[in-house]
């Protein structure tokens, strides 16, 4: 399965999703929308990683993704609570903090297992809804066209991980009807989102170049999802391809979102 080359990462400045330094703060409204949108993605990424561990689909990588994603969510939650520009947004992040604490209780403390998967999937939806609410509120408070694009690009990040989450759930025969419906719905939304971002007047040549790379990675990821769904009970290799390709796509989408957030 082809992956991003070192040259491609270097050319596009892709450095992956790393935990910001302890002194990091929200710089401006676009940065707030970016980080708020990243919380949406992380709600799905930790659920994906949990299933990866439980299904033994690249379990060592999945454990690393899980721990790093939880740490990044914690860090950004503190930043966003501190930045919240009005009482409504502060209330949303108070609710999100409580939902996140409940989610973490299901993610840590005992080994990931299929017995715990239903509860993890359910709580990931609760956290996602509140994280999306905060992102939407921040975009509205921004009042700038660039805010909408940062929100949309960030939503593409989330969809990549949501698709992977439900692809793994489908492989494990968990919430199968929901997983099948969500995969089709989110696949369509993802493709439309790529088109909107590429055609936006604000898209720079570098953004369009990065989106082309994203389209390539999307084809690989989508092929991995379709392959696993055709194979009946997917083997670990098929599930591992979903883990790998979803992470490659996420790196590109994070770069796209960061580029849109830098626009003024």
pLDDT tens-digit map of 91-101: 999 999 999 99
CA distance 222 to 9: 21
DSSP string across 109-123: SS---GGGHHHHHHH
pLDDT band at 103 (very low <50, low <70, confident <90, very high): very high
Q: Coil, helix or strand for 213?
A: helix
Cβ neighbours, 10 Å, residue 60:
10
Whether pLDDT at 8 is above 90:
no
In this prediction, residues 132-136 reach a mean pLDDT of 98
Quote the tokens at residue 119. Answer: 């509860």
Cβ–Cβ < 8 Å for 156, 200: no
Among 49-53, 141-145, 169-173, top mean pLDDT goes to 49-53
pLDDT digits (tens, 9 = 90+) for 10-65: 444 444 565 455 446 899 999 999 999 999 999 999 999 999 999 999 999 999 99
Whether pLDDT at 246 is above 50:
yes
Return contacts of 82-88, CB within 8 angstroms, 24+ apart. 82/25, 82/26, 83/25, 83/26, 83/32, 85/138, 85/141, 86/141, 88/137
In this prediction, residues 63-69 reach a mean pLDDT of 97
Whether pLDDT at 173 is above 60:
yes
pLDDT of residue 22: 47
In this prediction, residues 149-173 reach a mean pLDDT of 96
Backbone angles phi, psi at 212, to 5 degrees: -65, -40
In this prediction, residues 64-69 reach a mean pLDDT of 97
CA distance 100 to 94: 10
In this prediction, residues 239-261 reach a mean pLDDT of 97
pLDDT of residue 138: 98
Cβ–Cβ < 8 Å for 1, 245: yes
For helices 59-83 and 29-54, angle between their N-to-C axes, nearest 10 degrees: 150
Whether pLDDT at 126 is above 90:
yes
Secondary structure (H, E, C), 3-55: CCCHHHHHHHCCCCCCCCCCCCCCCCHHHHHHHHHHHHHHHHHHHHHHHHHHC
Q: Please state, rounded to an integer, the average pLDDT across all residues of the chain.
A: 91
pLDDT digits (tens, 9 = 90+) for 175-227: 999 999 999 999 999 999 999 999 999 999 999 999 999 999 999 999 999 98
The CA dihedral of 38, 41, 47, 53, to the nearest 10 degrees, is: -80
pLDDT band at 171 (very low <50, low <70, confident <90, very high): confident
pTM: 0.91
Cβ–Cβ < 8 Å for 89, 145: no
Quote the tokens at residue 165. Answer: 């989450």
């Amino acid at each position: 399965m082809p992956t991003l080359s070192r040259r491609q990462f270097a050319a596009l400045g892709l450095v992956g999703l790393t935990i910001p330094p302890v002194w990091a703060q929200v710089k401006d409204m676009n940065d707030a929308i970016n980080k708020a949108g990243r919380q949406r993605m992380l709600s799905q990424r930790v659920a994906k990683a949990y299933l990866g561990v439980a299904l033994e689909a690249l379990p060592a990588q999945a454990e690393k993704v899980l721990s790093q994603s939880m740490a990044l969510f914690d860090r950004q939650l503190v930043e966003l609570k501190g930045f919240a520009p009005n009482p409504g947004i502060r209330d949303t992040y108070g609710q999100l903090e409580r939902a996140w604490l409940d989610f973490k209780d299901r993610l840590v403390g005992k080994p990931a297992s299929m017995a715990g998967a239903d509860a993890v999937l359910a709580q990931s939806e609760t956290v996602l809804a509140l994280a999306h609410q905060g992102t939407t509120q921040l975009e509205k408070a921004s009042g700038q066209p660039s805010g909408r694009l940062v929100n949309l690009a960030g939503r593409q990040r989330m969809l990549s991980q949501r698709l992977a989450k439900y692809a793994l759930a489908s492989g494990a025969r968990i919430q199968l009807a929901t997983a099948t419906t969500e995969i089709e719905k989110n696949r369509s939304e993802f493709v439309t989102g790529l088109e909107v971002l590429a055609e936006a007047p604000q898209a720079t040549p570098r953004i369009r170049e990065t989106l082309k790379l994203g389209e390539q990675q999307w084809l690989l990821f989508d092929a991995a999802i379709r392959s696993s769904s055709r194979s009946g009970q997917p083997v670990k290799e098929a599930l591992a391809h979903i883990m790998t390709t979803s992470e490659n796509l996420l790196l590109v989408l994070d770069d796209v979102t960061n580029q849109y957030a830098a626009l003024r």
